[in-house]
Chains A and B, each alone.
With several copies, the nearest count.
Chain A
Amino acid sequence: MDINIFRRKKKIVVSVLTEKKVKETPVRCQSCGNLIKYEDLKENLKVCPYCGYHFRMTISERINLIADSGTFSEIDTEIKTVDMLDFKDLLTYKERIKQTKKETGLDCAVITGKAKIGGFNTAVGVFAFEFIGGSLGSATGEKLTRLIEYAKKRKLPLIIVFSSGGERIQEGIYSLMQVAKTIQAVDSFKKSGGLFIPILTNPSYCGTAAIAMTGSIIIAEKGSSIGISGPRITKEVAKQNIPDKLKQAESLLQNGFLDIVVDRYLLKATIIQFLKHYNRRAI
C-alpha cells in the first residue's frame, strides 16, 4: 500500500492510456505492479484484471461504456477553447491548446450531447482528462451550462462523467467563474424536477468536484480520488499530511457525500436502474 502511494506521488498527473501510446508495450498496473497486455486491459474495461484498479478511460471509451451503441450525438461542437489572457507558463496557452487539439482531436475538455442509455433518452456530458487534465475553462463551462439547459428544456435526465483536476489556471478568473455558472445552472435544472446524476471518476478535484456534489444522486467509480484540492495544491497549502485514503470514493461514501460507489462494469447498469425509476414516476 505504501509503495502505491509513493508511486502515485511521483507521477501526479497521470496520463490517459491510449492505443496510439501503448498498443505495442504491456502496461504496468499502478496499484499492484503487474504487467498487463493493452488488449487485455481494454477488453476488461481498463480495469486491472489482477487487482481491480480502475485505469483512466479516454473520452470515446467512456462514451462507449455508457451510451447505447451508436446513440450518442454531440451538440454544441462549435464551442472551442481560446486563450483570452495571453497566458504563458512553461508553454504559451495558445501553443498548449494547439498541441492538445492535435493529440486528442478535441476542442474542449468536455463533450456534450444526447444519447440513449438502456433505451432511455438522456443528456450526457463526458470530461476528457486528456484535454489539459479535464480542467474547467470557459468553453467547458459554457458547454456544460448549455447541456444542462438542453436537458431542462427537453426534460431529459442529465448524466455527466467527471474526470478533472479542477479549474483551468490558464483562464484565470474566467475559469473560477465557470464553477458558479455551472452550479447555478444545475440548481435551476434540479428545481424544475430534473434528475442529475454525476459520475465521479479518478480524479475529481476542486471546482469540478464541487459541481458534481450538487447532483441529485451522486455516483463514483471505485477508487476514485475526490477532494477540494488535487495533490499539488494540497501539498502547497495544507499544514498537515492528508492521507490519500480520505480522498478515496470509499471514504467519501462513509462520510456521507456519495450515494453509491460502483465497479466500472456495474456503472451502466446502475445508471439504468435510476433512469427506470425516474421514468416510472407516478405524478
Chain B
Amino acid sequence: MKYLLPFEKSLKPLYKELEEKKKNWETTNNIEEKIQQELKKIYNNLTAYQIAQIARHPDRPNTTDYINALFEDFIELHGDKKSGDDPSIIAGMGSFKGTTVAVIGSRKGNTLKDMILCNHGMIKPEGFRKIARIVNLASTTFKSPIITFIDTPGAFVSKESEKKGQIEAVSEPILALFKAKVPIAAVIIGEGISLGALSMSIADKIIMLKYSFFSVISPEGGASILYNDRKKSEELASSLKFTAANLFNAGIVDKIVNEPIGGAHRNKEKVIKATGDAINNELETLLKENEKQLKTNRIEKYKKIGIYAD
C-alpha cells in the first residue's frame, strides 16, 4: 500500500505485519484475512467525506487507465482550433467492442510533472473548447457514441483562464453535448466538481463508480463559503448528498458500478472491467434508439431536473 487514507490508519500495523511476513516467507493468509475484516469494518460505515477522499486517492484508476484498458486503436486528438491545447483533457477516437467511439476525459496526471502540466485535472478554457470540438466531430463526422470520463476538481481558476474566457468556454461542451446526434454515456470515476464536471456530464446515461462523487462544489470550497471555515468540510460533505447512492436515488445517476471493499485502487482491473461492462450495456440500448429521439429525450430529461413547490 503506497498511500493509506486518514481513516484507514488502523490498517497500518496490519500492512506492516503483512510485509514482514512476506519478507520472511511466512504464510500470510491469516493477516490478509485480518486486513479484509478491518477494511470491511471501515468501508461499511463510510461518511460522505471519506468517500470523497477515496474518490481522490492518487492510486485510483484514472482516465488514462480506462482508456488503455477499454479502447482499441485509441488515437489522441489535440487542440481546440481556437486558443490552445489543454493537457487536462484527453480526447480522441477509439474502438469499443468493434464500434468507433469518441472518448473524452479529464486527466490529473500520474507523475508530479504530469500533474503540473494537467493542473491537477482543473480544466482550462481551451480544454472546454476541445471537448466541444471532439463532441461535434463525433456527432457530425464519425457518427460515433461519445464516452466521457469525469475526474476533475473543476474549472481552472487563474489569470490566464479568466482572460481566455473560462466563463464563456464552460458552456461550449454543454451545448455541444445537448446538440449531439449520437448516444452519450458519462462515467464519473473519481471526483466530479462544479462546472468542470457538469461540462462533461450531459449524457443520455450517467454511470457512477460507487466511491466517486459529483457535487456542485468541493466540500472544502463549500465549507469556506458557508461556514467561513474549511474545517467544516466533513460536515458539509454529508449535507451535499453527492455520493453515487445519493445521486442514484435522486434520479440523476442511472447506474452505479460496484467497487470492492477498500476501493477501486485495491482491485483496478476488476473495477475497470465492470465499468466497461456497464458502458457496454448502456450503449447497446442507446444505439438501438433513433438519433433524433435520443437528442429530444436528453433535452427533456434535463428540463425536468429540479425540485420546487408549485
Q: Of B9-17, B236-244, B257-265, B272-280, which binds chain A?
A: B236-244
Q: Does A141 touch B at the CB level, under 8 Å?
A: yes
Residues of B within 8 A of A232 (CB): 221, 224-225
Is the beta-carbon distance between B198 and A180 smaller than 8 angstroms? yes
Is the beta-carbon distance between B167 and A240 smaller than 8 angstroms? no
Is the beta-carbon distance between A260 and B77 smaller than 8 angstroms? yes
B 128-179 contacts with A by CB, 8 A = 130, 137, 140-145, 153-155, 157-159, 161-163, 165-168, 170-171, 174-175, 178-179
Partner of B167 from the list A142, A167, A227, A235 (CB cut-off 8 Å) is A227
Residues of B within 8 A of A253 (CB): 78-79, 85
Q: Does B73 touch A at the CB level, under 8 Å?
A: yes
Distance between Cα atoms of A162 and B137 in the complex (Å): 22
Q: Does A75 touch B at the CB level, under 8 Å?
A: no
Q: Does B38 touch A at the CB level, under 8 Å?
A: no
Interface size of B in residues (CB-CB distance below 8 Å): 86
Is the beta-carbon distance between B226 and A90 smaller than 8 angstroms? yes
Q: For the side of the interface on A, what is the size category? A: 35 or more
Is the beta-carbon distance between B175 and A187 smaller than 8 angstroms? yes
Q: Does A234 touch B at the CB level, under 8 Å?
A: yes
Is the beta-carbon distance between A177 and B174 smaller than 8 angstroms? no
**Given A210-B170, A257-B165, also A169-B216 (CB < 8 A):** yes
**Given A173-B216, A184-B302, also A247-B162 (CB < 8 A):** yes
Is the beta-carbon distance between A89 and B236 smaller than 8 angstroms? yes
**Given A139-B308, A257-B81, also A145-B291 (CB < 8 A):** no
Residues of A within 8 A of B305 (CB): 138, 174, 177-178, 181
Is the beta-carbon distance between B100 and A169 smaller than 8 angstroms? no
Q: Does A1 touch B at the CB level, under 8 Å?
A: no
Is the beta-carbon distance between A191 and B307 smaller than 8 angstroms? no
**Given A169-B222, A238-B158, also A181-B83 (CB < 8 A):** no
For B275-310 the 0/1 string (1 means CB < 8 A from A) is 000000000000100010000000100110111111
Distance between Cα atoms of A175 and B309 in the complex (Å): 15
Is the beta-carbon distance between B302 and A256 smaller than 8 angstroms? no
**Given A169-B225, A179-B198, also A142-B308 (CB < 8 A):** yes
For B241-256 the 0/1 string (1 means CB < 8 A from A) is 1100001001010000
Q: Of A17-25, A34-42, A53-61, A269-277, which binds chain B?
A: A269-277
B109 to chain A, nearest CB (A): 15
Residues of A within 8 A of B227 (CB): 89-90
Q: Does B184 touch A at the CB level, under 8 Å?
A: no
B 81-116 contacts with A by CB, 8 A = 81-85, 93-95, 98-101
Q: Does A63 touch B at the CB level, under 8 Å?
A: no
Is the beta-carbon distance between A257 and B167 smaller than 8 angstroms? yes
Distance between Cα atoms of A214 and B170 in the complex (Å): 10
Residues of B within 8 A of A79 (CB): 308-310
Residues of B within 8 A of A89 (CB): 226-227, 232, 236, 239
Distance between Cα atoms of A258 and B101 in the complex (Å): 20
Is the beta-carbon distance between B79 and A210 smaller than 8 angstroms? no
Q: Which residue of B lies closest to A237 (CB)?
A: B157
Residues of B within 8 A of A185 (CB): 303
B22 to chain A, nearest CB (A): 40
Q: Which residue of B lies closest to A187 (CB)?
A: B175
Partner of B157 from the list A137, A175, A238 (CB cut-off 8 Å) is A238
Q: Does B195 touch A at the CB level, under 8 Å?
A: yes
Distance between Cα atoms of A109 and B139 in the complex (Å): 34
Is the beta-carbon distance between A257 and B310 smaller than 8 angstroms? no
A282 to chain B, nearest CB (A): 5
Residues of B within 8 A of A213 (CB): 81, 165, 167-168, 171
Residues of B within 8 A of A214 (CB): 171, 175
For A214-237 the 0/1 string (1 means CB < 8 A from B) is 101110000000111110111111
Residues of B within 8 A of A274 (CB): 75, 93
Is the beta-carbon distance between B224 and A175 smaller than 8 angstroms? no
Q: Does B35 touch A at the CB level, under 8 Å?
A: no
Q: Which residue of A lies closest to B182 (CB)?
A: A283
Residues of A within 8 A of B204 (CB): none
Is the beta-carbon distance between A85 and B241 smaller than 8 angstroms? yes
Q: Does A280 touch B at the CB level, under 8 Å?
A: yes
9 more A-B contacts (CB under 8 A) besides A169-B226, A256-B82, A282-B182? A79-B309, A172-B242, A178-B306, A180-B174, A209-B167, A227-B162, A256-B130, A277-B142, A281-B142
The 7 closest A-B pairs by CB, nearest first: A138-B306, A256-B79, A89-B226, A139-B308, A283-B143, A84-B307, A228-B166
Binding site for A on B (CB under 8 A): 73, 75-85, 93-95, 98-101, 122, 126, 130, 137, 140-145, 153-155, 157-159, 161-163, 165-168, 170-171, 174-175, 178-179, 182, 194-195, 198, 202, 214-218, 220-222, 224-227, 230, 232, 236, 239-242, 247, 250, 252, 287, 291, 299, 302-303, 305-310
Binding site for B on A (CB under 8 A): 78-82, 84-90, 108, 137-139, 141-142, 145, 167, 169-181, 183-185, 187-188, 190-191, 193-195, 206-207, 209-211, 213-214, 216-218, 226-230, 232-240, 242-243, 246-247, 253-260, 270, 273-274, 276-278, 280-283
> 22 A-B pairs, CB-CB below 8 angstroms?
A78-B309, A81-B308, A88-B239, A167-B217, A169-B225, A174-B307, A180-B302, A181-B305, A210-B170, A213-B167, A230-B225, A233-B217, A255-B83, A257-B167, A259-B79, A277-B75, A278-B142, A282-B101, A282-B182, A283-B143, A283-B144, A283-B287
